[in-house]
Amino acid sequence: MKLNNLQPAARSTQTRKRVGRGPGSGLGGTSTRGHKGAKQRSGYSKKIGFEGGQMPLQRRVPKFGFKNINRVEYKAINLSTIQALADAKNLTKVGLDDLIAAGFISSNQLVKILGNGNLTAKLEVEANAFSKSAVAAIEAVGGNAVKL
């Protein structure tokens, strides 16, 4: 091997395609852009949602309502569910960890206790939010509603 016979690997270098340089090159005429239309012209850039001048979908469909960015989503758990869990596991304190372990919620969900059902045991219930009827029912049996 000598310096005078060094060359790059086969097909590792390619020459740039020079379009629009006359008919002899085979790339003259329309310069690989096809015939007529916006895509053939200089300055063309595809706008998002552009449909060739037809009224675009996002302007044809009416808008309504809004999404409140401050909305807080709670997973609703009834007192009957809390009572069933306390009976099954023999608990005096029901917290988020117990609800996650039982499979009622996932670890990233917030919980609101609702007052549907009867509570018979004196329980300390921990949750992110409570309805008024749930707090009244928990305190009526001598329990405690702890808001996290």
pLDDT digits (tens, 9 = 90+) for 13-48: 999 999 999 999 999 999 999 999 889 999 999 899
pLDDT of residue 52: 87
Structure tokens at 47: 């706008």
User: Could you tell me the pLDDT band of residue 1, with boundaries at 50, 70 and 90?
Assistant: confident
Return the ∠ at Cα 21 (arms to 16 and 25), rounded to 5°: 75
Is residue 26 included in any domain, yes or no?
no
Is residue 137 included in any domain, yes or no?
yes
- Provide the whole-model pTM: 0.59
pLDDT of residue 23: 92
Q: What is the DSSP string of 101-129?
A: HHTSS-TT-EEEEE--S---S--EEEESE
Q: How many domains does the chain have?
A: 1
Domain encompassing residue 140? 74-147
Is residue 7 included in any domain, yes or no?
no
Whether the predicted pLDDT of 63 surpasses 90: no
Pairing of strands 74-78, 110-114: parallel
Is residue 34 included in any domain, yes or no?
no
pLDDT digits (tens, 9 = 90+) for 74-113: 999 999 999 999 999 999 999 999 999 999 999 999 999 9
Phi-psi region of 75 (alpha: psi -120 to 50; beta: other; left: phi over 0): beta
- Length, in residues, of the chain: 148
pLDDT of residue 90: 93
Q: Which CATH number is 129's domain given?
A: 3.100.10.10
Is residue 131 included in any domain, yes or no?
yes
Return the ∠ at Cα 144 (arms to 143 and 148), rounded to 5°: 150
